[in-house]
Amino acid sequence: MAAGSASTRISDLYRHNHGWLLGWLRGKLGNAFDAADIAQDTYVRVIDTGRLPEQAEQSRAYLARIARHLVVDLHRRRRLEYAYTEALALLPDAHLPSVEERAIALQTLVQIDAALDRLPVRVREAFLLSQFDGLTYQAIADRMGVSLGSVRKYMLQAAQACFAVMAA
């Protein structure tokens, strides 16, 4: 984009591309409400990072890349919400957490999911095999074709990522 103050450049980016971005997102998401939220979040991300495309011609590609990541995050968050709601439906009413506890638990799940997603593929795979498939470290090592020591290292990395989320 052309030279100028950051706020002017962001304002120009918004003015010239917001309508296009909103339409593009409506097409991707099939609903105007989610499209508006993601478009807004896209510009918030631009403001937060302070990064702007060098050339005006790159603006739409830049905004679309940010928006695509936010759409993936939205879908991931919705899948987690659905799974959590399904799990809650199995609990007797007497054991249901409060609305506040549910919101905190869901936010924590989303943060842990994001932390796991940032891990190397093999680390994430080992963690999921352990936690969701109930495999022993030796069974994970055999399945992944790695040493038992590697599995221990992977599990430590995953645990550290989860603990970092819980500590925050």
- Residue 133, domain extent: 97-168
Helix (H) or strand (E) holding 58: none
| pLDDT higher than threshold 90 for residue 3 | no
CATH of residue 134: 1.10.10.10
Q: What is the pLDDT of residue 7?
A: 82
Q: Counting Cβ atoms within 10 Å, is residue 158 exposed (0-12), middle (13-18) or buried (19+)?
A: buried
Task: Give the number of other CB atoms < 10 A from CB of residue 22.
Answer: 18
Q: Between 1 and 118, whose confidence is greater?
A: 118
Helix (H) or strand (E) holding 31: none
- Whole-prediction pTM: 0.70
155 Rama sector, left if φ>0, alpha if ψ -120 to 50, beta otherwise = alpha
59 touches 53 (CB < 8 A): yes
> How many Å apart are CA 70 and CA 82, to the nearest integer?
18
What digits encode the pLDDT tens for the residues 81-126?
Answer: 999 999 999 999 999 999 999 999 999 988 998 899 899 999 999 9
For residues 9 and 59, membership in a common domain is answered with yes
Residues of the chain with pLDDT > 70, as a percent, come to 98
Q: Tell me whether residue 86 is in a domain.
A: no
For residues 102 and 167, membership in a common domain is answered with yes
Tokens read off for 164: 């970092």
For residues 48 and 110, membership in a common domain is answered with no
**Of 1-10, 58-67, 159-168, which range is least confident?**
1-10
Residues of the chain with pLDDT > 90, as a percent, come to 74
